[in-house]
Chains A and B, each alone.
Chain A
Amino acid sequence: MNETVINGLYIVSAIFFVFGLKMLGKAEQARKGNLISAIGMLIAIVTALISQSVLEWQWIAVGMIAGSIVGALAARLVAMTAMPEMVALFNGFGGAASLLVGWSEYHRYTVTNTYMEANVLSLLIIILTIVIGGATFTGSIVAWGKLSEKIPSKAIQYPGQQFVNVLIAASLIGAAMLFGPLRESLNVDSYILVIVTIVIACILGITFVIPIGGGDMPVVISLLNSFSGMAACAAGFVISNNVLIVAGALVGSSGIILTNIMCKSMNRKLTNVLFSGFGATKASTGGGFQGEAKPVSVEDAYLMLEAASNVLVVPGYGMAVAQAQHAIQELAAQLEENGAEVNFAVHPVAGRMPGHMNVLLAEANVPYEQLKEMEDVNPTIENVDIVIVIGANDVVNPAARTDETSPIYGMPIIDVDKARTVIVMKRSMNPGFAGIDNPLFFNDNTRMLFGDAKKSTQGLVAEFKG
């Protein structure tokens, strides 16, 4: 087909991506934006299908039908609470696809016997695609494992970590050199080099994510998202295709922006997140706090809430685990009926991916106007009668303000300890996801409502109804 028409269609699809992404960032237009971006994708796919005389159409059909079924089922069936691991997994598949495109391009050189004549830059880009794609793939799988708790979510560190990383980097550079510029002087079997590179790239993904603790997962997810864009971009260079480069670069750079936003809301530097193994280095703070936690029964908590006129709910990942979002919405409705003002304060990194809590509360039909951001609630938090902390821990830990030795010192938090009373719903006194003690639990104005957050909340709702 005519090349100009093909390229024109690719440009149209790129424009759809740009507008789609732009609209995804605005609350009222987001759904339409997603649709527009999907139309852009459809245009790109159809263009690719008609652009060449397709030889293996039956295999393309097999791949697309199978992929659509798996993708659609996964998207329909996943629970909203499991969204972070779902996104991580999709991300990994994108990386795997890029790796395979790079590999397949190399394979074409070997079957057509053109490897030795190929341009060095093209070969290096193939290696780059394989490395980014492979690392994105295994890195996302590890992130998925950590998020779904199939592997321990805490930071895993091992001796000689830095050495291993240097070794991996050196061997990747070495393989790339042997594969590209040095291929004639040192006649190493290129297929072995490619396989070795794939294996090392996959190891790189694992060693990259495994030392990062669960509390830093929002950062890692956005970073991996960015990588999958870069992988697509690199694959675009491999096959000299504009639309892959544009779409990949859009995702790559927007992912970096999101990563940066996440780092800022945790007051950490990206390098610090990636290389310091958050949560692995502190066993010292245990038992350092004076005082005793004051437990409260559901009945007493009900009496406190009944008298309150201004209630603030601070959700965290524990709410997702307990699937308590519908119960807490019901409680909020009861409180409002009782004449209280109810708001939800969502910390930017509450949950395990950015914006996770907002999705869950939206699922439970909590009105958009009740969802407040951290900066909006903190200035007036002294006027709040009761704060209900449900499954949140680190994002309300006052040690971030006061204790310079705390690993989260300097992270902006929701200052719930400044409210008149705090009710903390928690399963036990165990420290949170990041493994840090929380002095909030020992404050004079804090009451601990132990037990499953969903059951406790339902108990409170029952008290209001009865």
Chain B
Amino acid sequence: MGMMLVFVLILASFLGFELISKVPAQLHTPLMSGSNAISGITVVGAILSLSGAFVIEGEVMTIILGTLSVFFATINVVGGYMVTDRMLSMFNTGKKGDQS
């Protein structure tokens, strides 16, 4: 199982290098905030830390740590995607005419 995960890591890293190699400069900011939103995937880990096999029911410290990490990761996800969309919508208004 461990080796399998390392394998996944290496392939995904190379994929990441390939995907981003040629990006026009004007997209750097949205790309960064968009990929930042993806790093909020930790929310899955946070949810699992409060679920099933991972949790001891009613244990206060587990709940505090888990809830806080769900909270932080969700800010990262929701905020990241929304702000990226807001930026990208501005890039399009130029073609569709004014609507400030």
Q: Please, which residues of chain A bring their CB within 8 A of the CB of B49?
A: 100-101, 104-105, 108, 239
From B56, B72, B86, B92, A96 is in contact (CB under 8 Å) with: B72
Check if A213 is an interface residue, CB within 8 A of chain B: no
In the complex, the chain A residue whose C-beta lies closest to that of B69 is: A100
Contacts A41-B38, A248-B41 given: A67-B74 contact, CB under 8 Å?
yes
A231 vs B45: C-alpha distance in the bound complex, in angstroms? 11
A222 vs B20: C-alpha distance in the bound complex, in angstroms? 13
From A48, A103, A229, A358, B35 is in contact (CB under 8 Å) with: A229
Residues of B in contact (CB 8 Å), total 87
Give the Cβ gap from A30 to chain B, nearest Cβ, in Å.
Answer: 5
Q: Please, which residues of chain A bring their CB within 8 A of the CB of B16?
A: 21, 249-254, 257
Give the Cβ gap from B78 to chain A, nearest Cβ, in Å.
Answer: 3
A351 vs B58: C-alpha distance in the bound complex, in angstroms? 49
**A75 to B83, Cβ gap below 8 A?**
yes
Point out which of A20, A98, A228 has the most chain B C-beta atoms below 10 A from its C-beta: A98
Check if A310 is an interface residue, CB within 8 A of chain B: no
In the complex, the chain A residue whose C-beta lies closest to that of B80 is: A90
Give the Cβ gap from A180 to chain B, nearest Cβ, in Å.
Answer: 15
Q: Please, which residues of chain B bring their CB within 8 A of the CB of A252?
A: 13, 16
Residues of A in contact (CB 8 Å), total 115
**A71 to B26, Cβ gap below 8 A?**
no
Point out which of A37, A83, A101, A371 has the most chain B C-beta atoms below 10 A from its C-beta: A101
- Give the A-B contact count at a CB cut-off of 8 A: 406
In the complex, the chain A residue whose C-beta lies closest to that of B77 is: A41
**B51 to A71, Cβ gap below 8 A?**
no
In the complex, the chain A residue whose C-beta lies closest to that of B52 is: A52
**A247 to B13, Cβ gap below 8 A?**
no
From A93, A240, A261, A355, B73 is in contact (CB under 8 Å) with: A93
A356 vs B51: C-alpha distance in the bound complex, in angstroms? 40
**A250 to B83, Cβ gap below 8 A?**
no
Q: Please, which residues of chain A bring their CB within 8 A of the CB of B38?
A: 17, 20-21, 37, 41, 229, 247, 250-251
**B79 to A75, Cβ gap below 8 A?**
yes
Q: Please, which residues of chain B bring their CB within 8 A of the CB of A255?
A: 32, 35
**A34 to B40, Cβ gap below 8 A?**
no
**B37 to A70, Cβ gap below 8 A?**
no
**B82 to A87, Cβ gap below 8 A?**
no
Check if A283 is an interface residue, CB within 8 A of chain B: no
Check if A362 is an interface residue, CB within 8 A of chain B: yes
**B88 to A49, Cβ gap below 8 A?**
no
Check if A44 is an interface residue, CB within 8 A of chain B: yes
**A225 to B77, Cβ gap below 8 A?**
no
From A37, A71, A97, A358, B79 is in contact (CB under 8 Å) with: A71
Which B residues from 2 to 49 make CB contacts under 8 A with A?
A: 2, 5, 8-9, 12-17, 19-49
Contact with B along A75-115 (1 / 0, CB 8 A): 11010100100110011011011111101110110011000
Check if A400 is an interface residue, CB within 8 A of chain B: no
**B32 to A59, Cβ gap below 8 A?**
no
A156 vs B74: C-alpha distance in the bound complex, in angstroms? 33
Q: Please, which residues of chain A bring their CB within 8 A of the CB of B80?
A: 71, 75, 90
A79 vs B30: C-alpha distance in the bound complex, in angstroms? 15
Other than A63-B69, A67-B71, give 12 A-B pairs with Cβ distance below 8 A. Answer: A21-B20, A25-B19, A45-B47, A56-B67, A75-B80, A75-B83, A80-B87, A104-B62, A228-B39, A236-B5, A248-B39, A362-B91
A sample of 19 cross-chain residue pairs with beta-carbon separation below 8 angstroms, ordered by A number, consists of A24-B35, A47-B44, A54-B47, A71-B78, A74-B83, A76-B82, A86-B83, A94-B36, A94-B40, A96-B72, A225-B32, A231-B42, A233-B9, A236-B5, A245-B8, A249-B8, A251-B36, A362-B26, A365-B93
Binding site for A on B (CB under 8 A): 1-2, 5, 8-9, 12-17, 19-57, 59, 61-63, 65-95, 98, 100
